[in-house]
Structure 1
Amino acid sequence: MSDGERSAAFTTVVYVGGLVFGVGLALSGMAKPEIVLDFLQLDDLGLLFVMGGAAVVAGVTFFLAARSGKRAPITGAAYTRRLKSMDRNVLVGGAIFGVGWGLSGICPGAAYASVGIGNYPILWAIAGMFLGAYAQGYWRSRRTD
């Protein structure tokens, strides 16, 4: 398979995966900030099953893929575990992400799905995500370790 064919196949899989993800978020209610905020306030724990189901499927998939000894069919890359150490950046980034999620009522993936179901005011939150990511990248490129 040539790089051009691999790239087209990879792009197709990414788009189909994104489509399935978005439909799943919309059907489960995770694309509605009011439902997510009810979950975060422990008023509606239905999303616990959605997130738990996703975590189980992803966990089993990663576990089996890493032990299969095979390579990814589209990219040809080996299935490996990428471990990141728990450091200050992980803790601070996670805290900032959590505050943003709590304030907006939606996480980044669900924000895009929310636009798809007609929640156009969420575009402000998406703009904030882009601005925050840009600011972090700018700050990281300027700092010296």
Structure 2
Amino acid sequence: MSQQRHPLFVPLIFVGGLIFGFGLGFSHMARPEVVLNFLQFEDFGLLFVMGGAAVVTGIAFALVPRLFDRAPLTGDTYGRRLKSFDRNVLIGGAIFGVGWGLSGICPGAAYASLGVGNVTILWALAGMFVGAYLQGYWRSQRATSRTTPTGAD
């Protein structure tokens, strides 16, 4: 049974992306040098931007399920989707952190960085896509090797 989405779902997602991108550009978080200065403990502006976002998100996650029984645009019920903290989460987070530190930009800000004229960020975006593809290929190869019967079967 497919659920019908509200007609404003896609336009509001687009508007949310515009607001997110504008906020990253306005706060200078789409500039790798600002992020690298934060990682080198020279500029703590990113801490305030992330803290402000965490406060708004925390309030929304606490209040919206109490005010509405279903999501307004999708009609889905609110629920927590928990992912177990395992080895893959730890290793993936470490790899992500190293990539963030080397490039000075995270994926969301990388796209916003294009909007402020940083075309050299295309190298980092290409690296993200290649890395994601390689991880997907590696995972599919592991899944295939686990399901392939051995000669003793």
Quickly name the TM-score band, shorter chain normalised: over 0.9
Structure 1 equivalent of residue 140 of structure 2: 141
User: Number of matched residues?
Assistant: 142
Secondary structure of residue in 1 paired with 2:81: coil
Secondary structure of residue in 2 paired with 1:21: helix
For 2:13, the aligned partner's letter is V
Structure 2 equivalent of residue 101 of structure 1: 100
For 1:81, the aligned partner's letter is R
> Cα distance, 1:130 vs. partner?
0.7
- The sequence identity of aligned pairs, in percent, is 67
How far apart, in 1, do the equivalents of 2:67 and 2:84 lie? 25
> Cα distance, 1:69 vs. partner?
5.3
How far apart, in 1, do the equivalents of 2:141 and 2:59 lie? 40
Contact 1:71 1:78 in 2 (8 A): yes
Secondary structure of residue in 1 paired with 2:29: coil
Alignment RMSD:
1.5
Contact 1:26 1:114 in 2 (8 A): yes
Q: Give the direction of change, closer, same or farther, for the CA distance of 1:69–1:14 in structure 2 (3 Å limit).
A: closer
Shift >3 Å, 4+ stretches: 66-69
Return the index of the structure with the highest Cα Rg.
Answer: 2
How far apart, in 1, do the equivalents of 2:62 and 2:79 lie? 10
Contact 1:33 1:105 in 2 (8 A): yes
Matched, 1:70 2:64: no
Q: Give the direction of change, closer, same or farther, for the CA distance of 1:70–1:97 in structure 2 (3 Å limit).
A: same
Structure 2 equivalent of residue 53 of structure 1: 52
For 1:95, the aligned partner's letter is A
TM-score by length of 2: 0.88
Contact 1:10 1:75 in 2 (8 A): yes
Higher mean displacement: 52-61 or 19-28: 52-61
- Superposed, 1:1-145 pairs within 5 Å as 3=4, 6=6, 8-68=7-67, 70-144=69-143
Secondary structure of residue in 1 paired with 2:8: helix
TM-score by length of 1: 0.92
Secondary structure of residue in 1 paired with 2:120: helix
How far apart, in 1, do the equivalents of 2:112 and 2:56 lie? 20
For 1:94, the aligned partner's letter is G
Write 1 or 2 for the structure with the bigger share of helix.
1
Contact 1:66 1:81 in 2 (8 A): no
> Cα distance, 1:139 vs. partner?
1.1
For 2:36, the aligned partner's letter is L
